[in-house]
Amino acid sequence: MPLRRVHRTGPLRALPVGVPKEGHGVASADPIAMGVLGVVGLAILVGAPSGMGPTHWEAFWTSLVVPEVLSALLDWKAGELGMVSDLKRTFPNFQPSPPPLHWLTVVNGPPGQCLYEQQSPLSGAITVEQQQHFRVLRIGGWVHSIVLTEGGTSPSSRTIIRKDHAILAYMRVMVAAACGFLETPLPHADSGKLQMQQARVLCLGLGGGVLPMILQHYFGSSGHLQLSAVELDRTITHAATMHMGLDPHFGRHKGQGLHIRDAAKHVADLAAASRAAADQGQLQQPAAQYDCIMLDCFDNNAEVPSQFLAQAFISDCRQIVPEGGVLVANMINGAIGCAWRQDFGRLAEQMCVAFGPTFSIGIRDDNQQNAVLVAKRMPAAHQNTDFPSSELRVFKQELQQNADQLARRHGMPYNLGKMLEELYHVLPDASCIDGVAEVDIDSQ
């Protein structure tokens, strides 16, 4: 029986570090620290004076318990299990190893150096900040792209932008999904096998240009990768090329294209041309312009515009990919009943109708609340195939193996197979609150 499930993995807008959200909080806290807190609390309860009423307890807790517990825990954690202070007394030059710098800590920290600030009539406030070794693109206050930089952070120093690393986990999962699903046929469907390094890829929504940069870096050296992007707002494109590392000549090189227009209209025009060619008898089958479409379109309120959730748009996407081609979409997947979750369900249902087999991939990294949807175009005769659970488990193993092998061949530092671990088979279900049910492939 299908299991309904919510990916509770954090919001696109970075929350202040340490602020618990639904699905997090105590469960993600340090278990040792929580155990110490419990022991200290119990000891205080046992040793507290008897006959204390609610008012006395409140005063007692505020004046004694909170400062003492917090002080003990903070000193203990900051001192690395309480040993650092002793080591420093014995060895004055001893310095503890600094913890790894996480992008969430930086993004939620003090404002960095503002490199770019424009008010766009289409997207509102667009800013780029250098925050320590991260460069952050915000649109309407929401984090849309982050790149890693090397070198100094002062205006006079030379800064190198790392084009080989995707900071945000959902982007790595989108790449893993594209690689795995392109190169892995679905069972009994003869849905075709394509190669990532020779794929024709269309990125809908440019942002900081990280997805095109990653794909070009790892798969563009063969000279066969064709890469196009569509972005509505020229101001965003300018910010990406000036400060986020996107090649200023992107779109002008052979095999590349950059289109400044509405992405839904762009896909509609391609689909219309494909249908017209088929109607005129020029082709036995509609022409397919792209092997992989990567949808990552959000407005300045972090919402997916309605045209990308419409059946017409998803049908147009299907029209311009061949059998075996894939649609990969980044979505925000919140609590059941919220607007984000409803949009997730709408898009998942439309993908099931137009493409057939559709999957969701949960993301557990970086405190994000994103989930990636993937649909693979099937031959018409197999579009509504009901795959047995055993075959889906075999498919998942092959999917992960193919993604890992591709990553190793192209020198990617990511375990792409592991990023596809949380794979769910999506089934449209109108009886659900959000119109979608997801089946855990491993637990069927």
Burial label, 55 (beta-carbon count in 10 A; 0-12, 13-18, 19+)? exposed
Asked if the structure places residue 14 within a domain, the reply is: no
246 plus 127 within the same structural domain:
no
- Confidence label for 367 from pLDDT (cuts 50, 70 and 90): low
The pLDDT value given to residue 7: 35
The pLDDT value given to residue 364: 72
292 plus 152 within the same structural domain:
no
**Residue 230 pLDDT > 70:** yes
Asked if the structure places residue 181 within a domain, the reply is: yes
Domain boundary among 161, 182, 203: 161
- Confidence label for 105 from pLDDT (cuts 50, 70 and 90): confident
**Residue 45 pLDDT > 50:** no
Percent share of the chain, pLDDT over 90: 44
Domain boundary among 90, 115, 137: 90
Which residue is it, tokens 């309904």?
Answer: 4
The pLDDT value given to residue 112: 87
Please indicate whether residue 294 or residue 107 has the higher confidence score (pLDDT). 294
Averaged confidence pLDDT in the chain: 76
Asked if the structure places residue 10 within a domain, the reply is: no
For the segment 427-435, the average pLDDT, to the nearest whole number, is 63
Ramachandran class of 235: left when φ > 0, alpha when ψ lies in -120 to 50, beta otherwise:
alpha
Rounded to whole angstroms, the Cα distance separating 247 from 373 reads: 28
155 plus 202 within the same structural domain:
no
Please indicate whether residue 73 or residue 432 has the higher confidence score (pLDDT). 432
362 plus 431 within the same structural domain:
yes
156 plus 285 within the same structural domain:
no
> Mind listing the pLDDT tens digit for each residue in 231-253?
999 999 999 999 999 999 998 88
The pLDDT value given to residue 180: 94
82 plus 110 within the same structural domain:
no
The pLDDT value given to residue 99: 45
Opening angle at CA 147, ends 143 and 148, nearest 5:
135
192 plus 82 within the same structural domain:
no
Please indicate whether residue 428 or residue 294 has the higher confidence score (pLDDT). 294
Closest CA to 221 of 245, 202, 197, 200: 197
Kindly report the pTM of this predicted structure.
0.76
The 8-class DSSP code of residue 16 comes to P
b/e burial code for range 276-304 (CB count within 10 A of at least 16 → b): eeeeeeeeeebbbbbbbbbbbbbebebeb
Please indicate whether residue 314 or residue 69 has the higher confidence score (pLDDT). 314
The pLDDT value given to residue 170: 93
- Confidence label for 374 from pLDDT (cuts 50, 70 and 90): very high
Asked if the structure places residue 395 within a domain, the reply is: yes
Structurally, the chain folds into a number of domains equal to: 3
126 plus 143 within the same structural domain:
yes
For the segment 396-418, the average pLDDT, to the nearest whole number, is 93
The pLDDT value given to residue 78: 38
> Mind listing the pLDDT tens digit for each residue in 153-188?
555 567 899 999 999 999 999 999 999 999 888 876
Lowest-pLDDT range of 19-28, 155-164, 182-191, 274-283? 19-28
Please indicate whether residue 442 or residue 43 has the higher confidence score (pLDDT). 442
Rounded to whole angstroms, the Cα distance separating 379 from 210 reads: 32
29 plus 135 within the same structural domain:
no
Domain boundary among 63, 90, 117: 90
Lowest-pLDDT range of 4-13, 190-199, 332-341? 4-13
The pLDDT value given to residue 147: 95
The pLDDT value given to residue 38: 54
What interhelical angle do 339-355 and 311-319 show, nearest 10? Answer: 40
CATH of the domain at 228: 3.40.50.150
For the segment 127-136, the average pLDDT, to the nearest whole number, is 93
**Residue 106 pLDDT > 80:** no
Please indicate whether residue 75 or residue 30 has the higher confidence score (pLDDT). 30
Given a contact cutoff of 8 angstroms between Cβ atoms, the answer to whether 183 and 193 are in contact is yes
Lowest-pLDDT range of 18-32, 244-258, 327-341, 390-404? 18-32
The pLDDT value given to residue 368: 61
Rounded to whole angstroms, the Cα distance separating 85 from 76 reads: 10
Asked if the structure places residue 234 within a domain, the reply is: yes
303 plus 175 within the same structural domain:
yes
What does the block give as tokens for 12?
Answer: 């696109």
Asked if the structure places residue 97 within a domain, the reply is: no
Q: Helix, strand or coil for residue 142?
A: strand
Asked if the structure places residue 96 within a domain, the reply is: no
314 plus 353 within the same structural domain:
yes
Asked if the structure places residue 112 within a domain, the reply is: yes
74 plus 197 within the same structural domain:
no
Q: Residue 65: which domain range?
A: 25-90
The pLDDT value given to residue 53: 44
CA distances from 22 to 18, 109, 202, 337, 426 (A): 13, 22, 35, 14, 23
The pLDDT value given to residue 383: 67
- Confidence label for 71 from pLDDT (cuts 50, 70 and 90): very low
- Confidence label for 193 from pLDDT (cuts 50, 70 and 90): low
**DSSP H helical ranges for 356-425:** 389-409, 416-419
Please indicate whether residue 22 or residue 277 has the higher confidence score (pLDDT). 277
> Mind listing the pLDDT tens digit for each residue in 311-339?
999 999 999 999 889 999 999 887 777 88
